[in-house]
Chains A and B, each alone.
Chain A
Amino acid sequence: MLQFLLRRALLAVLVCLTVLVVAFVLTRLSGDLAISIAGPQATAEDIATIRQNYGLDRPLVVQFFDWAAHAAQGDLGRSYLYHAPVAGLIADRLPITLTLGLSGLAIALLVAIPLGILAAMYEATFVDRAIGIVALIGQAMPSFWIGLVLIIVLGLKLQWLPISGVDTWEGYIMPAVVLAFSAIPALMRLTRAGMIDALASDYIRTARAKGLRPGRIVLKHALRNAAMPVVSVAAVQLGFMLGGSIVIEAVFALHGVGYLAWESISKNDFPVVQAVVLFLAVVYIGLTLLADMMNAVLDPRLRTA
C-alpha cells in the first residue's frame, strides 16, 4: 500500500510538471506578453521597460524555473489585471467553486446511484429502458442550454430561485443542478453496469441462499462491489466541476475559480493562468489519489495485495 502511494505521488509530481510546462509555453505563444500588459496606448519604450521589469527579456527556461521556484515556495506571483497576489485571488474564489462543485457532485450521486441501481435490478424491462432514455436526453442537452432554460422557467417565470449571484444558498441550486446534469449519465451507466455484474455473481446467490432481505443484498452485498468504478469517475467529475465550470459560472454570474480562469485567459493575465492551471492539476491529482484510497477502503484486495 505504501509503495503504491509513493508510486502514485511520484507520478503526480511528473504530471504536475508536464502540465505546467505546457501551460507556460502556451501562454508565451499567445503573443508578446509585454505588449498586452502595457496596453494599447503604450509607447515602444514603455513596452521595453515592462519587458525588463517583469523579466520577460530573459530566456524562457530561466523564466520557467524562476516561476517554478517561487511557486514551490507558495508564491504564485501577482496578477497584472488585479494588481494583487494570485494566491489570494484564487483563495477568495475557492469557496464559491468548492460549494458549487461539491453540491453538484452530491446531487449527481443522489440521482445517478439510485437510478443505476433501479435500472440494474430491472434490467431489460420497461424501468431500465425508461431510465436509459432519460439519461440519453440529459446527455444530449448542453449544460449552458439547461442553465438558460432553468433561469427562464424557475428564475424569471416562476421567480422561485434567484437567477444570479450567491448572496443566499438558494443561488447555488440552479448552477449545481446544471453541473450535476452533465455528470449524471456517466455515473448512472457505471452504477448500472457494475450492479448488473454484481447481481449476477455467485456471492449474491450465496447472500440469497442465506435468506437475506433484498435491501441488504442490493445495498450491502452488491453495491459495495459495484461502487469502485463509480468512485473513480466521481472523482474525475468533481475535478471537471471544480475547474471546468467556466460556462456555468459565466451563465449564473458566479465569481468562482472558473470565471477567474476565463477572465485571465481572455486578458492574457499569465501569472493567473499559470496558477489556475497548477491549481487544477493539483486538484485532479489529489482527487484521483483520494479515489484510490477510497477504493482501497472498499476493496480489501487492494489493501493487502
Chain B
Amino acid sequence: MKPVLEVANLRVSFASGTRAVRGISLAVQRGETHCLVGESGCGKSVSSLAIMNLLARGATRSADILRFHDTDLLKLTERQMAQLRGDKLAMIFQEPMTSLNPAYTIGSQMAEALTRHRRISRAKALDRAAELLERVGITAPGMRLAQYPHQLSGGLRQRVMIAMALMCDPELLIADEPTTALDVTVQAQILRLLQTLQRELGLALLLITHDLGIVARMAQRVSVMYAGEVVESASAEALFARPTHPYTRGLLECIPIPGASRRDAPLGSIPGVVPRIGPDFKGCGFRDRCAHAAPICAEMAPLQHAAPNHDYLCRLPPDWPEAAAA
C-alpha cells in the first residue's frame, strides 16, 4: 500500500550552522500511528515543521522524497502548500500556551480553519467547532467558543489546538506532544478519539511523544531519533521486543515494564548530553555516550537491517551483545 506520507533523506540546517535534522526517512500509512521518539533537542519538532514547510526563517530544508499521497511537497508553491495545510494535512504544535492568537476568540480561530477550506457559513463552522470541543472533552463548548485564549488553562488550550487541527477531517495529522498538559483521564480520552478517527476515517498519525506508555498504546511503527537522525526504525512490536541500537536499548531500560504506562519517564536518563552537530560532523552522533564506541564510530555508523522493516544505524551486529560487542 502507498503511504500517506513518505519522507526520504530529509535534512534541515539553520543559519547558525546547526544541522538539526540529518537525513531522516519515514513513512506513515493510512490509519496508522507512527511514533517519533527521542530526547529533547534531537530534532523531532524541526522534522515535523519541515514536513509542513513551517520552519522559521533562516532554516533550510532538503529531501530526496517528501510526498503526501502522490503530491510531491517539495515542488509545491507556498500557495499550493497552504491549500493542503489545515485541510488534508494538519498539525498540532508543542506550544499550546502561545499557539493561539491572544486577540481573537477561540470560536473565531477555530471557525476560520474550516471556512478557509470549505464553502460553509461561519455559523455552521462554529457548530462544528463546538462539536469537536465536546469530543476533546471540553464541557460548555458554547461558552468556550466566546472566550479568549488567556481565559483558558494550558490544558484547555492544548485541547482547543487538537480540536482545531481536526476541523477539516485531515488525512494526515502531525501531533507534537499533544497531551503533555493534560491529566491522565483527559489524555486517555484524546488518544481514544484519535484512534476512533483512525478507524473511521483512516487518519494517518505522526505522533511525537516522550511517553513510552503512549508509544506502546498507540504506535504501529516507531522511529527513534538521536541528534538529528533516525537511529532505529521498526514496528512497535519489534522495537519493544528486540531493540537493537544501543540508544534504544538505553531508552527502554528507563521503563521497568515495557508497555506499562509510566508517565514522564524521562527519555535519555543515559548519562551525557546530545552533541551540537555542526557542518563538519561525521561518525555516530551517539558515540560520546555509548558504552560500545569503537574508533570506527568516529568515522561512520552504517545503516543495518535487524529484520525486514527493522533498520538501525550502528556498527554493532543485530544480535549483540551475544555476538560481537566484546
Give the B-binding residues of A (Cβ under 8 A): 123, 200-203, 205-213, 216, 221, 224-225, 298-301, 304
Contact = CB atoms under 8 A, between A and B. Distances in A.
A221 B52 contact: no
Given A200-B56, A300-B150, A209 B91 contact: yes
B113 to A, nearest CB: 4
Chain B CB within 10 A, most for which of A203, A210, A212, A304: A210
A205 B112 CA distance: 15
Interface in B94-142: 95, 98-104, 109, 112-113, 116-117
B101 A301 contact: no
A224 B95 contact: no
Contacts of B117: 211
A242 B102 CA distance: 34
A225 B95 contact: no
A206 B100 contact: yes
B108 to A, nearest CB: 9
Interface in B157-178: 161, 164-165
B116 A208 contact: no
A210 B163 CA distance: 12
A298 B57 CA distance: 27
A203 B85 CA distance: 15
Contact of B84 (A202, A211, A224): A211
Contact of B86 (A123, A200, A211, A225): A211
The 7 closest A-B pairs by CB, nearest first: A211-B86, A210-B86, A211-B85, A202-B98, A203-B101, A300-B148, A211-B82
Given A206-B101, A299-B102, A212 B112 contact: yes
Contact of A299 (B91, B103, B161, B164): B103
A225 B164 CA distance: 21
A33 B151 CA distance: 60
Contacts of B82: 208, 211-213
Contacts of B102: 203, 225, 299-301
| Best-buried of B90, B103, B117 by chain A (most CB within 10 Å) | B103
B93 interface: yes
B115 to A, nearest CB: 10
B148 A203 contact: no
A211 B148 contact: no
B101 A207 contact: yes
Contacts of B87: 211
B151 A304 contact: yes
A233 B92 CA distance: 37
Given A200-B57, A202-B99, A209-B54, 18 more contacts: A202-B93, A205-B99, A206-B99, A207-B101, A208-B85, A209-B86, A209-B91, A209-B93, A211-B87, A212-B112, A224-B101, A299-B102, A300-B103, A300-B148, A300-B150, A301-B102, A301-B148, A304-B148
B112 A209 contact: no
B8 to A, nearest CB: 23
A231 to B, nearest CB: 13
A201 B97 CA distance: 12
B99 to A, nearest CB: 5
29 contacts: A200-B57, A201-B98, A203-B100, A205-B54, A206-B99, A206-B100, A206-B109, A206-B164, A209-B85, A209-B86, A209-B165, A210-B86, A210-B116, A210-B164, A211-B83, A211-B84, A211-B117, A212-B82, A213-B82, A221-B103, A224-B103, A225-B101, A225-B102, A225-B103, A298-B103, A300-B102, A300-B148, A301-B148, A304-B148
Interface string B283-326: 00000000000000000000000000000000000000000000
A1 B223 CA distance: 52
A206 B148 CA distance: 16
A300 B102 CA distance: 7
Contacts of B57: 123, 200
A6 B103 CA distance: 25
A153 to B, nearest CB: 42
A221 B104 CA distance: 8
A205 B103 CA distance: 15
A175 B52 CA distance: 51
B265 to A, nearest CB: 27
A301 B99 CA distance: 16
Interface string B44-56: 0000000010101
A228 B100 CA distance: 18
Nearest to A228: B103
Contacts of B86: 209-212
A202 B84 CA distance: 20
A298 B102 CA distance: 10
Contacts of A205: 54, 93, 99
A304 B146 CA distance: 13
Contacts of A208: 54, 82, 85
A209 B90 contact: yes
A206 B93 contact: yes
A123 B56 CA distance: 13
A212 B98 contact: no
A305 to B, nearest CB: 8
A39 B321 CA distance: 110
Given A200-B56, A300-B150, A301-B150, A210 B113 contact: yes
Q: Which of the listed residues A206, A207, A225 has the most CB atoms from chain B within 10 Å of its own CB?
A: A206
